Amino acid sequence: MTIINNIQSVASDLVYFTSAFTEHYTYYIAECNKPSKDYDHAVATARFDRAASCARIAISTCEDAGLDPKVVCKDQINFVDSYKAAA
């Protein structure tokens, strides 16, 4: 694999997993902010789990590429640190 292909692959993975993280985390927050009669714990848990998974993969992708996740994946690092017990 050429260097350019490797860079493209890393960039593609980072864009995908950071976007997926943002989507799932946004839906998680939206579910949590619903009135209690409309709130669905199973949906919130599933969204949280997907967001946590995408965050971990994005961070891992950064590390594998030799990038600093604290610079490249700030939101994912903050999420994992904030929800360390649950994530």
Query: What digits encode the pLDDT tens for the residues 49-65?
Result: 999 999 999 999 999 99
Residue 87: what pLDDT? Answer: 57
Alpha carbon dihedral 35, 36, 39, 41, in 10-degree steps, equals 150
Q: Looking at the predicted structure, is the pLDDT value of residue 86 above 90?
A: no
Residue 13: what pLDDT? Answer: 96
Helix (H) or strand (E) holding 62: helix 41-64
Residue 84: what pLDDT? Answer: 84
Alpha-carbon gap, residue 59 to 12, rounded angstroms: 14
Tally DSSP H helices, then E strands, for the chain.
4, 0
Instruction: Report the chain's mean pLDDT, rounded to a whole number.
Output: 94
- Please report which confidence band the pLDDT of residue 85 belongs to, taking 50, 70 and 90 as the band edges: confident
Cα 66 → chain centroid: 19
